[in-house]
Amino acid sequence: MPKTATPARTTLKRRHTAEEQLQVKRDNFHRLLAFDRGHKFPGRSRKPQCLLVGVDEVGRGCFAGPVVAGAVMLPEIEANSDLASLIFELNDSKQLKPAQRERLAAIIHDVGMCAIGQASVQEINEINILHASLMAMKRALDQLSERIPDTLPVLVLVDGNKAIKNIEFKYVQTTVIDGDANSASIAAASIIAKVHRDKMMKELAKQHPHYEWDKNKGYGSRTHRDALLVHGVTEWHRRVWCESFLSSDVSEFSEDDQSDE
């Protein structure tokens, strides 16, 4: 006869599982910090060679709403500090639950230098989403630059593989593929941008409830797509995305289009 797990054994197993999950989060957090530290303190030098800013955007794949970018300069975070214990869940915003993102965003705004930039739906329609995303990043960086001291050069870590055009000469930038999963600064930027944009889409949902932007944040969920077929587009919809959807076989759009970054 197989052994039946006792309540004590079940509780112990759950406790071990919870502890293991916490350790995974802490290990990932230390990995993100180490990535940034490797750029901030190159080689074996203990003297900081530059200030570090992470930049990321959210909302790039949406049917509706602006694209929003965050720029963040985090303070130096020691591994065993009180701040580390508060922010150890820092991660790519797509890997976090809404409550985690909101809690972390509040801490990031409190301890770091932060700025938000965006590009409107009209700008997305005019210059395409790639250039609009880079424009939003530049606007966030421009806002942050007003508060960055000139004591050291600034290295900007940009999520993706495209550099930001026409940034200030004092900045050096490095593109980082999957930056929000590798850099603490970029992850922080993705979180504040995501929280900001989600709040914006929830407010817009009050004006246009048919599309359920409070739930899908402007992404192409089934409810959003069905509403487009019935109610058409609003001033907040991106023309290229919607025209492509409305002129195509609806079955071509899979459930993957519902992803909420």
pLDDT band at 43 (very low <50, low <70, confident <90, very high): low
Give the model confidence (pLDDT) of 66-78 as tens digits: 999 999 999 999 9
Domain that holds residue 40: 19-195
Same domain for 135 and 38?
Answer: yes
Same domain for 215 and 176?
Answer: no
Spatial CB neighbours of 2, under 8 Å, sequence gap ≥ 6:
none
* Mean pLDDT taken over the chain: 88
Residue 1: what pLDDT?
52
Same domain for 156 and 244?
Answer: no
Between strands 171-176 and 67-73, the pairing is unpaired
Residue 171: what pLDDT?
86
Last residue of a domain, one of 195, 213, 239: 195
pLDDT band at 258 (very low <50, low <70, confident <90, very high): very low
Residue 256: what pLDDT?
41
Q: Where are any strands of DSSP class E within the chain? A: 51-58, 67-73, 113-119, 154-159, 171-176
Same domain for 241 and 171?
Answer: no
Render 45-91 in DSSP notation, one character per residue: --S---EEEEEEEE-TT-SBS-EEEEEEEPPP--TTSHHHHHHTT--
Give the model confidence (pLDDT) of 168-197 as tens digits: 777 899 999 999 999 999 999 999 999 999
Last residue of a domain, one of 195, 217, 241: 195
Same domain for 136 and 246?
Answer: no
Residue 75: what pLDDT?
94
Q: Quote the tokens at residue 123.
A: 């700008």
Share of the chain above pLDDT 90, in %: 70
What is the number of domains present in the chain?
2
